[in-house]
Amino acid sequence: MAGTAFANPYADYEGTTLIVNFPAHPHYDAVMKILPEFTAETGIELEVDQLPYLKMRERQTLELGQDEGEYDLIAYVVFSKADYVFADQLENLAKYFMNPKLSDPGYDAGDLIDGYVYNIGFAGGDKGYLEGATGSLFGIPYGSETSVLGYRKDIFDKHGLKVPETYDELLEIACKIPELEPGMGGLSSRAASGHHAAHAFLLHLNPMGGAIFDDQWNPVVNNEAGVKAAEALKTIVDCGPEGATNFGFGEALGSFLNGDTAMFLDTTVVAGQIDDPSKSQVVGKVGWALHPMGVERASQTGGFGIGIPANAENKEAAFLLMQWLTSKKGDKLVAMAGGNPSRFSTHADEEVNAKYPHMATFGEALKHADPDWRPIIPVWGKINADLGTTLSKVLTEDLDIQEALDGVAERTKGVMTEAGYYTWN
Amino acid sequence: MQRATANRLTPYMFMAPAVVIMVIALLYPLGYMVWGSFRDWDPSQTIGEAEFVGLKNYITLWHDPNFRESLGVTLSFAFFVVTFEMVIGVGLALLLDRNIRGMSVLRTLFILPMMIAPVVVGLMWRYMYHPTVGTFNRFFEAIGLPTVDWLGANALMSVIIADIWQWTPFIFILSLAALQSLPRSALEAARIDGATGWQQIIHIKLPLMMPVLIVTGLLRLIDAFKVLEVILVMTEGGPGLSTEILALRISRTATEFRELGVAAAMSNYLLILLLFITVMMFAFTRWQEMRANRLRAAVEEDE
Amino acid sequence: MPTIHLENLIKRYGDVEVLHGIELEMADNEFTVLVGPSGCGKSTTLRMIAGLEDVSEGEIYIGGKPVSRLEPKDRDLAMVFQDYALYPHMNVARNMSFALRLQKRPKAEIDQKVKAVAATLGLTDYLARKPGELSGGQRQRVAMGRALTRDAGTFLFDEPLSNLDAKLRGQMRAELALMSQRVQKNMIYVTHDQIEAMTLADRIVVMHGGYIQQQGTPEELFKRPVNKFVAGFLGMPPMNFLEGEIVERDTGVFVSGDGFDLQLGAEKAAAAKAHQNKEVILGVRPSDLTFDADASEQEALTLDVMVSEYVGAQSVLLCRCGPANVMVEVNSETPVALGQTLTFAVNPNGVHLFDRHSEVAI
Amino acid sequence: MPTIHLENLIKRYGDVEVLHGIELEMADNEFTVLVGPSGCGKSTTLRMIAGLEDVSEGEIYIGGKPVSRLEPKDRDLAMVFQDYALYPHMNVARNMSFALRLQKRPKAEIDQKVKAVAATLGLTDYLARKPGELSGGQRQRVAMGRALTRDAGTFLFDEPLSNLDAKLRGQMRAELALMSQRVQKNMIYVTHDQIEAMTLADRIVVMHGGYIQQQGTPEELFKRPVNKFVAGFLGMPPMNFLEGEIVERDTGVFVSGDGFDLQLGAEKAAAAKAHQNKEVILGVRPSDLTFDADASEQEALTLDVMVSEYVGAQSVLLCRCGPANVMVEVNSETPVALGQTLTFAVNPNGVHLFDRHSEVAI
Amino acid sequence: MATSYERQPPAFYALIAALVVMSVGPVLLMFVNSFKLDVDIISGTSGLIFLPTIQNYETALCDVLWYKPDHVDHCSLKFGNAFGNSLIIALVSTALTLVIGCMASYALVRFRFMGRDSVSLTTLMVRMVPPAVLLVPVFGLWNNEFCIGKTTYVGSLIRETFGGRGDVCLAGTHSGIILVYVAMNLPFVIWILQSFIVQVPRSLEEAARVDGAGPFQVFFKVVLPLIKPGLAAAAIFTFRIAWNEYLLASALSDRNTKTVPILIVNNMSEFNVEWGVIMATGMLLAIPPIIFTLFASRQIITGMTAGAVKG
Ligand SMILES: Nc1ncnc2c1ncn2[C@@H]1O[C@H](COP(=O)(O)OP(=O)(O)OP(=O)(O)O)[C@@H](O)[C@H]1O
Ligand SMILES: Nc1ncnc2c1ncn2[C@@H]1O[C@H](COP(=O)(O)OP(=O)(O)OP(=O)(O)O)[C@@H](O)[C@H]1O
Ligand SMILES: [Mg+2]
Ligand SMILES: [Mg+2]
């Protein structure tokens, strides 16, 4: 009896069906490939509901609101963390890791990339949304990404260019490319109104040493670091491919895949597509480098974590799945299937590197991952949108950068007051 | 006697199913929404939990420049879209109001655009508008014209074009149907009376179609205020707010900003606006009828 | 005004042929009346002249030039439709003035014309009404008015008076007669009404089953119908038909049948001789039978009265003569008992003979 | 079948009152004919009986019980509409069988009924056509057929024959007459046609401007019209009216005016005496004027012929008598020259007198 | 009877051709693209110089295909299932909407009754509510208010037979979505049909009434056939909307009642727009409404009421 229980911790849950909500995202496409393995190993059936991540977020908002939800395990976007935890809709994972029946001793939590964990898993610590003395764990990073610089080896070799280390070099090269290669853009960045523009801006904000808020929640986007970041963005877009001003991620990546630009500075998830001949014309021509440094190295972290809804039906089983997926084994499986691993060990793993040479670089980049590259607070959505549209104006309507950012700062201040962040001072 | 009562009940029997359904599925949620517009309502709360804030949402909106801007966008979008679609649609209907071979195939061809799922339409046009690989600019280059920065500088125009492309069939079909059910004999009489094709259109066809046209235009207007997916996919409201029509802003407020109360308030503004337009429209038609009657009375006076 | 010439006009609906080669020549400002049983193709003919139905075969010439490809508006004609075809959205006045307004005539002229016509049609009080609010007759008058306000070269009327009461009909008829003399126009007029046809027509065209049976002045058609159909179609109450055969005796030529044996007048006899012993049909109009107790056998019919219909001044008696029914008219005062047998003198010039098979007049 | 009783029926459209208190009592299976000038309210009355227009005031009783609140379908009647009102999406057969199909009658019965009616209406060849493909008259016959296939208690006809040719009209009239005797039903019949009215009606109701002028048997109305309107409305060609006044001389009572001086017959004289020297209108029907060269001054009218209309057997002469127009009929054979002066004997029983102001008969 | 076709001037056909190109062009482009690899699409190799592939269709249809295309390693699109749902939902809701709708509009046109105007205006008003706003309340109601408690007899029965958890609610069922669609489209149908019903000659209805038809018979046997053109037009749109609607469907459907538009949207994660597949799905999605239109638009024919009345 007990013997079997030891032998197979999954026994009790054999046959239960877990309903899982994943985003439509290269990483999770990879996950889909390895899930059968889990079922085979544990006898736990899975039904996956895959949604584009914005839709996924809406769906979850609605679902988690119910007193009996559909999902047993959800993948959530980083910035949902604040809402869900705040609304008490995510299980605190403590009690599962405490449960000997469930938690696997071999699960080496230290090996998880801390930048990710802090960014995605924790809440209740510093600033309320980070790790820290008061913080605790609500989810585990899974399918998380960081920013790296992709560049066209062939082009760079052809013109004897050196892979940019700093922003100055980056911008210089970005604007030199169009002259060297007529019709080719320097660096393709997203810039479309809304969160695309905002995201692109934030990409440069930290390296430039800027931030949205100081520690007292005072908006500081409009300090000169912020302005530098915005200028960088503008330069990049101007030297970018034609019509870049309203590129979304799709077009941006598209033009890189299409060979219309020499560099691409964004998330790591694209690696898969760049090597897929049915999608890209630059297979094998792309090299990877760290996110260039401004005053400091700070690559973005983002992507998804997985957590257990408070209104889930089979929480234990869900935890088991969660644990399996993020275990060393699971992580490596995903990596091999083309997902992005969340453990240092996996990045180091030579088998993986054999298949995906860029992994090492990515692992390196992760050392500089900055969990706090943007605040994760309920009102962020609004601020983000405002930032996005304003920057879009900067890029298209030549609005003066300084005053644009001042505007953002001011409105942000308003929002924050509204939301009660200044109650204490 | 009881027959008489039954008689009086008939209209209600005819109305009943429609009313019931709309009350359940529209009015109730609608009330829900109106009620919500007075609360600080987060999607992860049930409306009960949300805190009551009175008119706050409305007031903040009223002073919110972004809201105003997108209101402006909405109005101009709706105006252009409806005008062009009416003109083209009715024109097309008049053009095709004859029996030639393969008519129903032709009709179907013209309705085609409407049948494609909005999301796909959005993608398609976004693709065609693409600054470099896009169909239009490629075409322009091919024939040596300067390329256009479609979704950039001319985003609104581009969006309007796309919408016209997709929704003109709506007007077309309805006016065609109207045309086909006109009394033929009146048209014959007109031809005898020496009316040219144009004059027939102006003096007979259009006046007789008017009821349909008014309603069609109205419905189209209402829908124009609700266009969402296509624009979302094409521009996401950008650049800046240049194509962020209210419907889009509403759904963003609801999902991105997670401020249901505000979203509700916003759509109530929209509702009021539309109601206003509608009522004006009816008032106008009514007024015309009254005028006609007065004239009539006058004439019958002096006989 | 132009002559109108229909050349071997054929009309098919799908594969039903409803007009089989109409040949018709109408002189300048002649008043032509088309009569014929319902469904014989009158309206169709008219509508083809108007250009509302396209011509399946043949050609229409107005003033010498072929028009069958022309639009109605280029044929310079006005028409009254059998089913009114009023503009539902215009009031009576605008209905009537539509054509003029299209021609951009001065407002004053239009008003004056409309008023005038409305007056003659007794529509003055209804000028502001929409067709939907008018009685049947009033609608028909509006339809009429719409044509009259025009001064087109040719006027087409399709039963313009069928919904009007006798009195009004009389007036309108007079109006039309006057107009057709005053304004020199072609008029083509479809009617069912004997009197209308007789009084208005310069020439009557009798149609039947898509063919023209006979055309000519009212008097011709009435006096010398070319066949039994025409004879029976015109004249109210209709002509009586009796089957018999021609027999020549030394006393003269007789037409005799079951219940009668009638001597023919001189020139009829001449014509009849040719048809010795042929089977014929004898046709006599009620108006050619006069009640005359002491008329001699061979110049009279003896009839048994069956039904007596009271029609104002006259009564119509339905009688039997052998197997056949015969109608006669008597002054309402003459006392008549049903079942009674009466003798009626036959007006010798009122005798018509038809071949019993071809039904052609002898 | 039930009696029908209209009690002080009033109809308003908006604030236009078109019927001002119609009082009418129709006995069992009586054939009532409504006549009157266009727009006088005939159709409206009929439609109110049918239950298609609601009653503004008054009440309608069918078989004794008030029905003005009932649905048409509960009044057990069939109706022929002035504007056909055919179901355009059904072919002729289905049009005619609609009512029966609603009653779920057995298929066989329906077919047989439709066939029968179609035959009498000469529609057999068109059963499969849609109304749009029929001629005017054919449509009207279908409308007629739709009513005839029913066996309702009351039949309402609104000018059912107006679009048919004389011949067909004659037949249909006979059909109706037969039917009204065979099947014992109420028939209410609106027509413009003198002859129809006279021949069909058990009782004629003359309406004018929303009032009933007179009702009674055809003979009554024709012989003793209660006022000038009725006198003028019935009879074709219409009665002639001459203004004059009553003068009593020792030779007798005379009615004399510009161009005539006529002695009255015995009982008319008696009636007239009361109106000594009153201004009156003398009414004489053309049929009461007979061409008689040697009639004496005080029993005849002398007329100057102006126009001669050829109407088949008879010719109608339009003459002048002083200021007034007078119509007379003569046999077409009588040679008449325009401008000629002729004397016509007046049938003493054909003389009508009306008060010139009230226009009521004396 | 064979209708005779009018001959038209060549200019007319030229014009028509041009217009057709304009309206069909994009669809054509889409059709062509659906046979390209994403790489060709993005690089916008215009014209027809490319080797067509049915990969995209294979991917789209992977769950209904009898063989397993080698380029799809796992089948994320449940197209077959979704297609079925779409069909059921669109057809049923269209049918319901039309019947209910034209009954209502008939009442509004032909009868004068209490609150007539207010009703007709309200119907219009509810049409103005943006779905984005309906979303949340509807979802709430469908999930919480319109439910059969799982404890109640019926509820438990259903749960036992069909499984699932929580109360038995409208949400996630076909009927739930259909209900919303019917409601959404009713105002449109009601308003459009009104203007067609007005044109039906009254005396036809009168004739029917005299012939012994009750109100409903008059309506279904006489009025309905005569407003075919209007009905057809209305049908086309109702179907189209019910077929393509995304927002509400995505909220109200669960994994098993997804409609095709949801599939499409779900399929375009912004990180990886699978152009080809989307185009393919789009084409597939467009077929039924096109067929529907082809049939419906045949009903839009001339002279429905020819020969009905004089006037
Ligand atoms: N809807 C209406 N609104 C206003 N007046 C109307 C309406 N319908 C009919 N009338 C008027 O009522 C009067 C009587 O109409 P009705 O149809 O009964 O005349 P009628 O006797 O049938 O004439 P006809 O013999 O020409 O058909 C007419 O003067 C007509 O103008
Ligand atoms: N659209 C059509 N399709 C088929 N047959 C038709 C069509 N229109 C008319 N007909 C047929 O053509 C014949 C002639 O029609 P037309 O209207 O000319 O008759 P008509 O002489 O005017 O009769 P009426 O005096 O009754 O109006 C009729 O038998 C009719 O059935
Ligand atoms: Mg005709
Ligand atoms: Mg009438």
pLDDT of residue C43: 92
Pocket of ligand 2 contains residue D348 by CB under 6 Å: no
C158 vs D138: CB contact, 8 Å cut-off? no
pLDDT at A380 over 80: yes
The residue among D294 and E148 whose pLDDT is bigger is: D294
Chains D and E touch (3+ CB pairs under 8 A): yes
Return residues 52-91 of C near E (CB < 8 Å).
54, 82-84, 86, 88
Using a 6 Å cutoff on CB, does residue C133 contact ligand 1? yes
Look at residue B290 in the predicted model and tell me its pLDDT: 81
CA of E137 to the centre of ligand 3 (A): 63
pLDDT tens digits, C10-65: 999 988 899 998 999 988 878 999 998 888 999 999 999 999 988 999 999 988 88
Calpha distance E38→E275 (Å, rounded): 6
Q: Report yes or no: B4 at the D interface, CB cutoff 8 Å.
A: yes
What percentage of chain A has pLDDT greater than the value 90? 5
* pLDDT tens-digit map of C99-112: 999 989 999 999 99
* C282-296 pLDDT tens trace: 999 988 888 888 888
Q: Which of E133, E167, E271 has the most A C-beta neighbours within 10 Å, making it the best mutation to test the interface with A?
A: E271
Q: Do A66 and E267 touch (CB under 8 A)?
A: no
How many residues are there in chain C? 362
Nearest CA to ligand 1 atom 27: C136
**Cβ count within 10 A of residue A167:** 22
HEC secondary structure over D61-111: EECCEECCCCCHHHCCEEEEECCECCCCCCCHHHHHHHHHHHCCCCHHHHH
State whether residue B129 is helix, strand or coil. coil
Contact B132 A241 (CB under 8 A): yes
What are the tens digits of pLDDT across the range B46-105?
777 778 888 888 988 888 888 888 899 999 999 999 999 999 999 999 988 877 777 778
Q: Quote the mean pLDDT of chain B.
A: 83
What pLDDT band is residue B2 in, cutting at 50, 70 and 90? very low
Encode pLDDT of B216-229 as tens digits.
888 888 888 888 88
Residue B80 to residues A236, A290, B221, C260: CA-CA distances in angstroms? 36, 49, 10, 90
pLDDT score of E1 more than 50: no
Tokens found for residue B175: 């006016």
**With contacts defined as CB-CB under 8 Å, which chain C residues touch B288?**
none
Which positions ≥6 away from D36 have C-beta within 8 Å? C165, D42, D206, D207, D208, D213, D233
Q: Is D41 in the pocket of ligand 1 (CB under 6 A)?
A: yes
Q: With beta carbons under 8 A apart, name residues in chain B contacting D51.
A: none
Query: In the predicted model, what is the mean pLDDT of residues B6-25?
Result: 81
Q: What is the pLDDT of residue B3?
A: 42
Give E113 to chain C, closest Cα distance, Å: 22
Neighbors of chain D by Cβ distance (3+ pairs < 8 Å): B, C, E
Q: Specify which of A239-243, A403-407, A417-421, B183-187 reaches the highest per-range mean pLDDT.
A: A403-407
Which ligand sits closest to the CA of C165?
1
Min Cα–Cα distance to chain E from D157, Å: 12
The CB of C87 under 6 Å from ligand 2? The reply is no
Distance CA(C200)–CA(C32), nearest Å, equals 8
D and A: touch, per 3+ CB pairs < 8 A?
A: no
**Which one of A19, A45, A54, A55 would you mutate to disrupt binding with E, by most E Cβ within 10 Å of its Cβ?**
A55
Give the closest-approach CA distance of D286 to chain E in angstroms.
Answer: 36
- Minimum CA distance residue for ligand 2 atom 12: C18
Ligand nearest to the CA of D18: 1
What pLDDT sits at residue B4?
45
Contact with chain B for residue A378, Cβ under 8 A = yes
Chains D & E: contacts with CB separation below 8 Å = 90
pLDDT at E251 over 90: no
Q: Please state the atom number of ligand 1 nearest to the C-alpha of residue C126.
A: 31
Choose the residue to mutate in C13, C17, C83, C191 for probing ligand 2, maximizing ligand atoms within 8 Å of C-beta: C13
> Does residue E305 belong to the interface with chain D, where contact is any CB pair within 8 Å?
yes
Residues 6+ apart with CB under 8 A from E110: B11, E197, E205
User: E1 contacts in C (CB within 8 Å)?
Assistant: 13-16
Query: C43 alpha carbon to ligand 3 midpoint, in Å?
Result: 4
- Quote the percentage of chain E above a pLDDT of 70: 77
The one-letter code for the residue type at C7 is E
What distance in Å separates the CA atoms of residue A193 and residue A191, rounded to the nearest whole number?
6
Band of residue A4 on the pLDDT scale cut at 50, 70, 90: very low
Indicate contact of C with A: 3+ CB pairs under 8 A: no
Tell me the shortest Cα–Cα distance from D99 to chain C, in angstroms.
25
Beta bridge partners of D4: D26, D62
pLDDT mean over E282-286: 84
At residue E271, the pLDDT reads 61
Low-confidence ranges of chain D (pLDDT < 70): 1, 311-313
Q: Closest residue (by CA) to atom 7 of ligand 2?
A: D133
pTM for this model (two decimals): 0.84
- Cβ pair D85:E201 closer than 8 A: yes
Q: Does the pLDDT value for residue A3 go beyond 50?
A: no
d(CA D286, CA D263): 18
Residue of C nearest to E309 (CA): C83
Higher pLDDT, D176 or B8: D176
Task: Report the pLDDT value the prediction gives residue E161, as an integer from 0 to 100.
Answer: 62
Query: D135 CB less than 6 Å from ligand 2?
Result: yes
Report ipTM for this prediction.
Answer: 0.82
- Looking at beta carbons, which residues of chain E come within 8 Å of A313? 165
Q: What is the pLDDT of residue A1?
A: 37
| pLDDT at residue number C60 | 93
pLDDT value at residue B303: 47
Residue nearest to atom 28 of ligand 2 (CA): C39
Q: How confident is the model at residue E154 (pLDDT cuts 50, 70, 90)?
A: low
User: Atom 1, ligand 2: which residue's CA is nearest?
Assistant: D133
Residue A172 host element (H or E): helix A167-180
Using the 8-state DSSP alphabet, how is residue D177 labeled? H
| Ligand 1 atom with the shortest distance to the CA of D40 | 21
Residues facing A309 on adjacent strands: A90
Q: What is the pLDDT of residues A69-111, one digit of tens each?
A: 888 999 998 878 878 888 888 999 888 988 888 888 888 888 8
- The Cα C280–Cα C355 span in angstroms is 5
pLDDT tops 60 at residue E3: no
Please choose from D6, D22, D42, D213 the residue to mutate so as to test ligand 1's pocket, defined by most ligand atoms within 8 A of CB.
D42
Give the per-residue pLDDT at A297. 79
From the CA of B281, how many Å to the nearest CA of chain D?
Answer: 26
Per-residue pLDDT, A367: 79
* Distance to chain D for C106, nearest Cα, Å: 32
Smallest CA–CA separation between A38 and chain B, in Å? 32
Other Cβ atoms within 10 Å of D213 Cβ, number: 19
Comparing CB atoms, the residue among D85, D88, D134 nearest residue E226 is D88
- Residue E76 has a pLDDT of 64
Cα(D83) to centroid(ligand 3), Å: 14
Q: Which residue ranges in chain C fall short of pLDDT 50?
A: none
**Residues with Cβ within 8 Å of residue B115, at least 6 apart in sequence:** E240, E244, E286, E289, E290, E293
- Closest ligand (CA of D207): 1
